[in-house]
Structure 1
Amino acid sequence: MSAIPQGRRTRRAALVGAVCALLVTGTALTGCDEDPDAGTNGVGKLAPAKIESRSRTAADSADAVRLSGTVVTSGRTYTLDMRLKSDGGTGSVTSKGATFGLLRVGEQLYLKADAGFWSQADGGDAKDGGSAAAGKLDGKYVRVPQEDPAYKRFSGFTDKDVLLDGLLTLHGTLATAGHHEQSGVRTIRISGDKGSGGTLDVSLEGTPYPLRLVRAGGAGTLTFTAWGENFDLTRPAPGDTVDYGRQLPSS
């Protein structure tokens, strides 16, 4: 059989494409459906549990990540914007209208906030010198003692492994929930119990990193970016650091 000339093949391909584009009835033509996994990393063709496993492995193996969004725990909503890696993290946390910065370098944790935050934490009583103390802490990195209960509560926001282990969990029976897009990146979405157990968008491009998580029970929505992008973590200068004492205000 003689080969079809190149020009004829091109015209035929163009004709098929035009027919597919113009098809508006319910009748499907063989070859018109585009494979949504074409040119991807292939995880979209895997079973949901395997997709979840691949995404967890990718997250655990990454040197760094940026995490932003909301987390609801014990009835309290936290808005996070954190950059994390194995030896620490930095970023901001907002809760009940108050925003504070966190920085952890190794085992040393620092909290940074304005005078209003510290005044509120101290009860805002000017008679006991609370306002004066808050002024001294304004914009400074306050070292959080490791024996302080606040250390355990806040250091978790700066620990990549602890935070991801606690967040990247879907509940119930897993299923795929279609192909989607997150910030211009194609994703495959998996869900727990048809969405009531949370949903997770996993990248179909390059490494199958988690890109977006909707937690079960309305417990927050998070996005994950800058996977593997290193950043500097340095202790603040002594002049920018204040040692609050043995314990931060309990509130």
Structure 2
Amino acid sequence: MTDVMKAVRRAGLAALTITAALLAGCGNGDKTDTKAPAAAGNGVADAEPAAILDKARTALKAAKSFHVKGAMSENGEVTQIDLKVAGADVVGTVAFSGAKLEMLAVGGTRYVRPDEAFWTMIDSSGKTAKLMKQAVGDKWIKPAAGDASLGSFFFGASDIEEMLTPGGTVTKGEAKTVDGVPAIGLVDSADTKTVLYVATTGEPYPVKMERPAPEGLSFSEFNQTFADLKAPPAAEVVDQASLKKK
């Protein structure tokens, strides 16, 4: 899904993991294994593809949070994504070309914490990495208001409308169990290599985005509270504007 992939690169979708339980009982000396009743379907399996997408979009908007992890690529460059999203708040990392950038957005304030490889990627001479290590160390950087460089790494993770807007016509794909969740696949005519799976039991959350290896995204921790999604202490933050004065 062309537009979906672009949005996922900026943040991601969500998932609900469902596991089946086995019940064992004994009676009259005979031992019988009984499977738990199958979870009731949520109706999306029989719906039209566009309606399935609408239901997934509605479910995501109603969700409090989710965790997306995996990899996507563009022009041959693979980006590793590990993000926890709660509304407009985000915490996690993106990694590419051997560099990693920690990201944090809380209450409308954004912070980034690049590793040394990130700065070296920007300036191969190593001078920038050395200066930043001295000026910042392990602290978070608070990008300047309107910053179009460090601030641009926040990919619009909470834009659910864009995440679930296909580039072409959506059709049904295979129905199968994905990460323990019964799901139905959706295929976008504009990007047939991508299959978006939507849960067919419980809430109709997007479950997984499958892509040719090494790409693909998995989703978990839906509606969870993330302890690391909080503003860092002031002593652990450096304002980007102050760095430009050095």
Q: Are 2:158 and 1:161 aligned?
A: yes
Structure 2: how far apart are the matches of 1:78 and 1:191? 23
Q: Does 1:228 align with 2:223?
A: yes
CA contact (8 A) 1:202 1:208 kept: yes
- 1:142 is aligned to 141
Indicate yes or no: 2:183 matched with 1:184: no
Matched length:
206
Moved over 6 A (4+): none
Q: How does 1:88-107 map to 2 (within 5 A)?
A: 88-107=89-108
- For the 8 Å contact 2:116–2:129, the answer to whether it is kept is no
Cα displacement (A) at 1:154: 1.4
Q: Any unmatched runs of 5+ in structure 2? A: 1-37
Point out the structure with max Rg over C-alpha. 1
CA distance in structure 2 between the aligned counterparts of 1:219 and 1:101, rounded to whole angstroms: 22
Greater percentage in helix: 1
Query: What CA distance in whole angstroms lies between the structure 1 residues aligned with 2:166 and 2:214?
Result: 12
Deviation, 1:141, is 0.7
Which is worse superposed, 98-107 or 130-139?
Answer: 130-139
Give the distance between the partners of 1:220 and 1:143, measured in 2 at CA.
31
What do you get for the CA RMSD once the two structures are aligned? Answer: 3.0
Q: Please report the TM-score for the alignment, with normalisation by the length of structure 2.
A: 0.72
Tell me, yes or no, if the aligned pair for 2:56 and 2:205 is still in contact at 8 Å. Answer: yes
Q: Using the TM superposition, give the Cα deviation of residue 43 of structure 1 relative to its aligned residue in structure 2, in angstroms.
A: 1.1
Q: How high is the sequence identity, in percent, across the aligned residues? A: 24
Structure 1 residues 161, 116: closer, same or farther in 2, change over 3 A?
closer
Distance in 2 separating the partners of 1:247 and 1:180: 52
CA contact (8 A) 1:93 1:100 kept: yes
Q: 1:195, 1:74 → 2: CA distance?
A: 15
| C-alpha separation in 1, matches of 2:125 and 2:167 | 42
Q: Describe the superposition over 1:14-42 as per-residue Cα deviations: whole angstroms up to 9, x where unpaired.
A: xxxxxxxxxxxxxxxxxxxxxxx983212
Query: CA–CA distance in 1 between the matches of 2:236 and 2:39?
Result: 53
Amino acid across the alignment from 1:94: A
Per the TM alignment, residue 131 of structure 1 is displaced from its structure 2 partner at its CA by: 1.3
- Residue 178 to residue 101, structure 1, CA distance change in 2 (3 Å): same
Is the 1:64–1:85 Cα contact (8 Å) retained in structure 2?
A: yes
Q: C-alpha separation between the residues in 1 aligned to 2:110 and 2:76? A: 25
What is the TM-score with the length of structure 1 in the denominator?
0.70
Aligned-partner Cα distance in 1 for 2:44–2:110 = 38
Tell me which of the two structures has the higher relative contact order, counting C-alpha pairs closer than 8 angstroms and 6 or more residues apart. Answer: 2
Change (3 A) 1:167 1:123: same
